[in-house]
Chains A and B, each alone.
Chain A
Amino acid sequence: MADATIPHAAPMRRPLAGRVKAAVVLFAIFAALPPVAAALDDPFFVLIGTRILAYAIAAMALDLILGYGAMVSFGHAAYLGFGTYAVAILSSYGVHDIFLQTAAAILVSALFALVTGAISLRTRGVYFIMITLAFGQMAFFFFISLSAYGGDDGYGLAQRSTLLGSDMLENDFALFYATLATLVALFWACHRIVGSRFGRVLTGIRENPTRMEAIGYSPFRFQLAAFVISGCMTSIAGVFLANQAEFVSPAFMSWHRSGELIVMVVLGGIGTLSGAIGGAVAALLLEEALGALTEHWRLWFGLFLVLMVLYSPNGIAGLVKQVANRGRKS
Chain B
Amino acid sequence: MSSLEIRHLKKSFGALKVTDDVSLDVRSGELHAIIGPNGAGKTTFISQLSGQLASDSGDILLDGQSIMRLSMPKRVHLGLARSFQITQVLPHFTVLENVAVAVQARSGSSFRFFSPVAGDAALNARAMAALGEAGLADRADVQASALSHGEHRRLELAIALATEPRVLLLDEPLAGVGGEDADAFVAGLARLKSRFTMVLIEHDMDAVFRLADRVSVLVYGRIIATGTPEEVRSDPQVRAAYLGEEEEEVA
Contacts and interface: CB of A to CB of B under 8 A. Distances in A.
A218 B73 contact: yes
A211 B89 contact: yes
Given A214-B72, A218-B71, A193 B133 contact: no
18 contacts: A1-B133, A2-B136, A8-B127, A10-B119, A14-B118, A197-B109, A197-B111, A197-B115, A200-B104, A201-B101, A201-B104, A210-B88, A212-B101, A214-B72, A214-B76, A214-B88, A216-B73, A218-B73
Contact of A10 (B50, B88, B141, B187): B141
Given A12-B118, A200-B97, A208-B88, A214 B50 contact: yes
B88 A204 contact: no
Contacts of A201: 101, 104, 110
B77 interface: yes
Interface string B77-93: 10001101000111111
Contacts of A215: 76, 81, 101-102, 105, 159, 162-163
B91 A198 contact: no
A207 B84 CA distance: 16
A302 interface: no
Contacts of A1: 133-135, 184, 187-188, 191
B82 A195 contact: no
Q: Which 7 A-B pairs have the closest CB atoms?
A: A1-B135, A216-B76, A4-B137, A216-B105, A207-B90, A7-B125, A215-B102
A185 B133 CA distance: 43
Interface of A: 1-14, 192-193, 195-201, 203-204, 207-208, 210-218, 222, 225
Given A198-B111, A198-B112, A201-B104, A213 B143 contact: no
A10 B140 contact: yes
Contacts of B197: none
B117 A199 contact: yes
B26 to A, nearest CB: 19
A12 B90 contact: no
Given A2-B135, A208-B91, 12 more contacts: A1-B133, A1-B134, A1-B135, A3-B133, A7-B125, A9-B119, A12-B94, A12-B118, A195-B117, A207-B91, A214-B84, A218-B71
Nearest to A226: B113
Contacts of B121: 7, 9
Contacts of B115: 196-197
A167 B112 CA distance: 37
B193 to A, nearest CB: 14
B52 A213 contact: yes
Contacts of B7: none
A202 to B, nearest CB: 9
Nearest to A14: B118
Contacts of A197: 104, 108-112, 115, 117, 120
A186 B40 CA distance: 54
A209 to B, nearest CB: 10
Nearest to B129: A5
Given A2-B132, A6-B128, A10-B119, A214 B52 contact: yes
A192 B111 CA distance: 13
Contact of A214 (B82, B94, B104): B82
B247 interface: no
Contacts of A207: 90-93
Given A200-B101, A216-B105, A217-B73, A11 B141 contact: yes
B116 interface: yes
B216 interface: no
Given A12-B96, A196-B115, A214-B82, A208 B124 contact: no
B233 interface: no
Contacts of A200: 97, 100-101, 104, 117
A69 B197 CA distance: 35
B13 interface: no
Contacts of B94: 12-13
A176 B97 CA distance: 40
A233 B116 CA distance: 21
A201 B81 CA distance: 18
B73 A193 contact: no
B249 interface: no
Contacts of B141: 10-13
Contacts of B136: 2
Contacts of B230: none
Contacts of A13: 94, 141, 143
A166 B226 CA distance: 82
A4 B90 contact: no
Contacts of A12: 94, 96-97, 118, 141
A201 B103 CA distance: 12
Contacts of A195: 116-118
A211 B108 CA distance: 19
B147 to A, nearest CB: 14
B248 interface: no
Contacts of A9: 119, 121, 124
